Structures are given as structure tokens and as C-alpha cells.
Structure 1
């Protein structure tokens, strides 16, 4: 598989243009519900499709595996629109290690950068730890190919998970020290998961993949909108801003997480949170 973010598809000539807006979404807690792990706000599909049909690029940037994005979001879009509309859609998974684009005929092409995978020894140690000590409230996600995710059980209790996660983090630090992982891997926590990833991957890498895909398609955008519900999602907008683009960050998580953040772009906090917040913003910003 490819280790480059350029796509194999020849960009259609009509796509070599400037669009008004480009849209970059985290998935968990932004498109899908963090506890139900599915899209609860049906209106989101209509809003996304309307942008795709208008020729505006839409991207998902998640720590989830590609299969999750395909099943929970892309397949649902395909039930509601022609697959040829997906040529304006881009999906980044596992924080930039995997990505997928769609040709003019709707054919999907996946790519992976295997050079940034977490070592197998680490995966085995963490898998055993979760199974033996934390299986009552979390599980080891076997779908990930390049990183580790320990996720809250389906319909789990957020408060209980938060408490147990602190204990998990202490155990992970011990594993890091024992295996000499400092400087090679990092731990990143969200409201429903704890991730272990190679240094260099993250929401900023996912944003870079998106920008490179746009360049390969000959598309420029007047403005970018990034959506997230965790502080680490800020990295998407920070990277786009760093590369000289006009960007706004729409934060639909607990606004206390971003209060005081010093960034060079506007941070918007809708009144509603999660999918409702995303939907309300999209309805009011065509």
C-alpha cells in the first residue's frame, strides 16, 4: 500500500477550482454520538450531502479505524446520495496513518503509512492489561492497524470510565518506562478512549493529509471550518492555520476544555454540544 498521501485518481478537470468553504470533522462526539457510537442527528447527512453536491470538499479526521467511518457515516451517506458525489469526500483514520479517497466513479482507494505503527510488543502488553484489569468498563479495539485504542464499553458510564482511565494511565506509564517508549510513542486521551500512538501522528497529520489531497485535486478553499469536541482536535485548525489558510474552529465539547487557548484563529462554541451542536452550526452557516 502507498506510503504517500497523494491519491491514485486523476483529479477531474472541473474540480480544479476555488470553493467557498472546506469542511473538516472529527467523528466521535461531532458526527456520531460518543455513547451510542452512531449518528443520532439525521439532519447531519443532509447537511453534508448538500455541501458535497455544491462541490465543497468534506473530510473526516478521526482516531477511529476506516471501517467505523465507512459503516457509521459513509454507508449512510450512500443510502441518500449518488456514489459519484463522494469524489468530494476524504476520510482520514487512525490520526493520519490511514486515509481514503474516492474517484469520479465513486470507487474507493485506501492508503496506509505502515512506518508509523505502534510496536507489536506494546500492543500485546496493553491488550493483556485491559483484558485482565479493566474489561468491566473498557475494551481493546482490535480494528486498529497502526495504533492502540482502549475504548469505553458500548453504553458505558462516562463518569466511571473517567475514574478508571486515571488508573489505566498510571499502568501505561509503567509499561512505557519498562519498554523504553518515551520519545517513540505518546498517550492521548479523549472523553471515551485512551490512545497510544507513534510520535508524529495526530489530528494535525490528518489535517495535512486533507490539505495534500486538496492540492492533488487542484482545489483551493477561501475558508476552512474544523469541528472537534476534545482539546486535541484543536491541532487540526492549528495545522491548517500554520500552512497559511483562513480557518475557524467549531468546538462542540465542554467549552471549559478550550477556555484560555491561545490560537491565531477564531474558536466558536455553539450552545448545543456534540451532534446537535454540529448540526445547528451547519444549518446556520451554508
Structure 2
């Protein structure tokens, strides 16, 4: 059913936010929202009518416990009860998704067609537990992808030294089960000659996932959901710490909206894009995210 435009305020801010979580919102060290102003600013911006989507490779369980729960403690329920307020979560790069309302996170939907079978899931779990548990752990909360993550008691430099050894072993294991898989310059097609899966490293984790999962898919799902609830702003800001996060702004720009991407880890190499790409002074990660959200709130006067 189309939304009732008369039920929405006519003076909603001309701004929407598409936010990666690890990096710009949650500390890549503590894996939590360590800067309280981020919570307060997200609540205030939501209450003002700025649609906010979390578009992340994280699982729904992680976002529920580490993002939505602390936001509720800072007043998110009241913010989402305000006419025009919208918040949404897209997890595992589009593999699952859920509404976020005054009661918290709604029922999670999963694109099961993109998920691995129990043979690959169990095989990678055993590989981690038997050979790599001193530096990483298997993420049991994922529904559509297989993920491992750096242990928080391990130095990042030590994890990064071990990570490629795990990834090569995982490639051999999963491709040996018949899954078409790509990893860097290695390819192992399935029996149909296809490569429907890939290994995608980050600075604190490795995802083994469908090639159809990515941040542009998440952005599309978020905008479609927001459009079903009310009018969309023309100006969208995406924020992330990886090159793949630019795909959120790529999608917004391709749909004719004004896009800005905030790169909170420019040392990884900023991309040349036909829309605005910005950094936040000399700040990185969640310090940059906190500063940019504060600027948004100040500019809107909320």
C-alpha cells in the first residue's frame, strides 16, 4: 500500500544517512560504540526525520546487541515514535534485513538462496577451531555468509600476519567441496564453470560470501524500504572505512540523488567518483564518524 504523504511532516530534513558500522560508528578495536555522542546524535537526527540505515557486513545479532540496544538506552524509542522517523538495518551486505522501530529490531528476513550449505559452514568452523583459534573466532551469528573475526585479545598486526594463511586454507577447503570460489588471483569454478562465491578480507575479519552481496545491494534495499514509508530526501550521505563502502554512494548517485561519501579510513586509498568524497579533518574511524554526525546535527539545528 502506498504511504500516506499527508501523515508525514512537510518540513523533513533533506538528508538521509547510509552508515557502515565497523569503523565510522563502532570502534574497530572494541567492536562497540565507544563514543557516546554517536548515540545521542543518531537519536537526535532520527527524531528530526533523517532516515538512518545501517548497512553492514555484521550480523543482525551484532547490530541488535551493539547498536540498537545502546540506542534504545539513549532514547531511540521516543525518537522513532516521532512522525516521519525511519530507521532500518541491512546485514551481511544485503543477505538479511529488518526494520528498526520503537520496540527495537523487528523480524529478520534472510535471502537463503545466497547462503552456504552445512558442509562449508561446518568445515570452516572446524578449520578455525583446530588451527587458528589462537588469533580468530568463527562468527556463529551469520545467516547468509561465513565469517571469521580477529579475537579482541590479539594485536591487529599479529592477526593480519595469520589472516592470509587462513584464507588460503579456507579457499582450498570450500572450493574442494565444489563451491565456485574466487580469492584474490585464485579461481576455482564449480561444475557449471561459475564463480558464485568469493573470499573478502577486511582489516579485522574475513567473509566468505556470495558475489551478489555488497553495499550497493544494501543501499537499494534501504531506499526501497524508506520509500515505502514516506518521501525520500534528495541528499544522501554514506559513511564507511572500506573501498566497498563507496558502493552505497554509487547506488544513490546512479538513482539520481545527490550523494556524498565520507571516507573514515582514507589511508586505504580514496576512490575517484563523480560525487563528493570527503574526509573529516585528520580524524579516522569512529572519531571521524562522531565528528561528522555532530556536524550534521549542528547544520540541521537539532
Structures share a fold, TM > 0.5? Answer: yes
Question: Of residues 120, 131, 134 in structure 1, which corresponds to 2:132?
Answer: 134
143 and 186 in structure 1: CA distance in 2 versus 1, 3 angstrom threshold: same
Are 1:19 and 1:222, in contact at CA under 8 Å, matched by a contact in 2? Answer: no
Are 1:84 and 1:106, in contact at CA under 8 Å, matched by a contact in 2? Answer: no
244 and 47 in structure 1: CA distance in 2 versus 1, 3 angstrom threshold: same
Deviation at 1:192, TM superposition (A): 0.6
Secondary structure of the residue aligned to 2:98 is strand
Structure 2 match to 1:222: 234
Scaled by the length of structure 1, what TM-score is found?
0.89
Structure 2 match to 1:160: 158
Secondary structure of the residue aligned to 1:221 is coil
12 and 80 in structure 1: CA distance in 2 versus 1, 3 angstrom threshold: farther
Deviation beyond 4 Å, 4+ runs, structure 1: 8-13, 103-107
Deviation at 1:70, TM superposition (A): 1.2
Deviations 1:166-194 (A, max 9, x none): 11121122224323322121111111100
Question: Which range moved further: 84-93 or 210-219?
Answer: 84-93
Deviation at 1:262, TM superposition (A): 2.9
Secondary structure of the residue aligned to 1:74 is helix
Structure 1 gaps, min length 5: 1-7
Alignment of 1:97-246 (within 5 A): 97-102=95-100, 108-182=106-180, 183-246=195-258
Q: Distance in 2 between matches of 1:57 and 1:24?
A: 9
Secondary structure of the residue aligned to 1:99 is strand
Q: Distance in 1 between matches of 2:5 and 2:109?
A: 20
Structure label with greater radius of gyration: 2
Secondary structure of the residue aligned to 2:234 is strand
Structure 2 match to 1:15: 8
CA RMSD of aligned residues (A): 2.2
Deviation at 1:132, TM superposition (A): 1.3
Structure 2 gaps, min length 5: 181-194
Are 1:226 and 1:236, in contact at CA under 8 Å, matched by a contact in 2? Answer: yes
Deviations 1:180-211 (A, max 9, x none): 32212111111110001112111111111111
Q: Does 1:51 align with 2:8?
A: no
Question: Of residues 271, 275, 279 in structure 2, which corresponds to 1:265?
Answer: 275
Deviation at 1:248, TM superposition (A): 0.7
Are 1:184 and 1:198, in contact at CA under 8 Å, matched by a contact in 2? Answer: yes
